[in-house]
Amino acid sequence: MDNYSQVEALISRLADPGLQRAFPSNKCIKGLEAKIENLSPLLLNSTQWSCFRYALICLRSISKEHHGDPGYI
């Protein structure tokens, strides 16, 4: 991903209700959060680091929105 728009497009697909029925997206989101949190900024350029941090913000926002939603897997 090269910019925040691409990050948002990818993350929004994870929140899609149709996709949530296909696989346990909550586990996917939590797994992605953990992997991003463990990334080293030394291994990434500034654009990559910024996009990963933004993805983490988006993932946490999705998790917060769906926390307690019985339809959310």
The whole-angstrom separation of Cα 67 and Cα 73 is 10
- pTM beyond 0.85: the answer is no
Q: How confident is the model at residue 69 (pLDDT cuts 50, 70, 90)?
A: low
Phi, psi of 23 (to 5 degrees): -155, 160
Residue type, 31: G
pLDDT of residue 38: 95
| pLDDT tens track for 38-54 | 999 999 999 999 999 99
pLDDT of residue 73: 43
